[in-house]
Amino acid sequence: MQIFHAPYYKRLRGFTLVELLITLIIIGILAGLLVFGIGQMKAKATATKIIADLRTLRSAVAMRYSDTKTWPTGGTGTWDWVKDYIDTDALSSTNPTGAEKQKIYAIRVFQTGVNTGRMFVVANVNDNRILGIDDLVRLKISERQDEYKLLNNSILPYIGTDKILMIEIKK
């Protein structure tokens, strides 16, 4: 018959406090990395959606021109014709209120000045908690500036601090 001494037997029964703390620290670090990674992926997805929506609106304007041989004139007119080309209600009115504030897209036509006749599709990428637009989303958009020739409100290359994002339709 074997006789176990109490101190030796207790040592083999479980984990030490140090082992448990190290395990919890490792789990915490991994969870933190996961949360950071999910935030990055969500921002990239939002940025990609905004750029894709702008490109779709640009295509709708080009299709309308192909059908009618006229460009939209801008001004106070309505943009309901866009619905004939794409299934959307995403274009914002001039002074959005209520649910209209979620509509961040517009079509901009310069009527005067050196840019007369130039046309752009526009997204308001100012902070918007409902749509998840923040600094990280703007940074992800700016990373794709060269790829899509993204512009800011001053018709300069888009950078991550700009609140207006534009893609040119017509010069």
Residue 1 lies in a domain: no
Q: Is residue 68 part of a domain?
A: yes
Would 10 be classed as within a structural domain? no
Percent of the chain with pLDDT over 90: 32
Residue 3 lies in a domain: no
Tens digits of residue pLDDT in 45-60: 999 999 998 998 899 8
More confident residue, 31 or 79: 31
**Would 109 be classed as within a structural domain?**
yes
pLDDT bin (cut points 50, 70, 90) of residue 106 is: confident
pLDDT at 3: 60
CB of 74 within 8 A of CB of 170? no
Q: How many domains does the chain have?
A: 1
Q: What is the CA radius of gyration of the chain?
A: 27
| pTM of the predicted model as reported, rounded to 2 decimal places | 0.74
Predicted confidence band at 139 (pLDDT cuts at 50, 70, 90)?
Answer: very high
**Domain carrying residue 153:** 15-170
Instruction: Grade residue 93 by pLDDT with cuts at 50, 70 and 90.
Output: low
Residue with the larger pLDDT of the pair 104 and 101: 104
How far, in Å, CA of 15 to CA of 86, rounded?
62
Query: Which two structure tokens, joined as six digits, stand for 97?
Result: 């209120």
Of 18-27, 91-100, 103-112, which has the strongest mean pLDDT? 18-27
What 37-44 contacts at long range (C-beta under 8 Å, 24+ apart), as own/partner pairs, is 39/136, 40/136, 42/132, 43/132, 43/134, 43/136, 43/137, 43/139, 43/140, 44/140
Is residue 6 in a domain? no
Whole-number Å distance between alpha carbons of 144 and 31: 29
Specify if 7 maps to a domain. no
28 lies in a domain?
yes
As a whole number of angstroms, the distance between CA 15 and CA 105 comes to: 58
Q: What is the pLDDT of residue 10?
A: 55
Q: Quick one: how far is CA 146 from the chain centroid?
A: 16
- Return mean pLDDT, the chain: 82
Give residue-wise pLDDT tens across range 68-81.
888 877 655 566 77
Phi, psi of 124 (to 5 degrees): -85, 105
SS3 content of the chain, % helix, strand, coil (to 5): 45, 15, 40
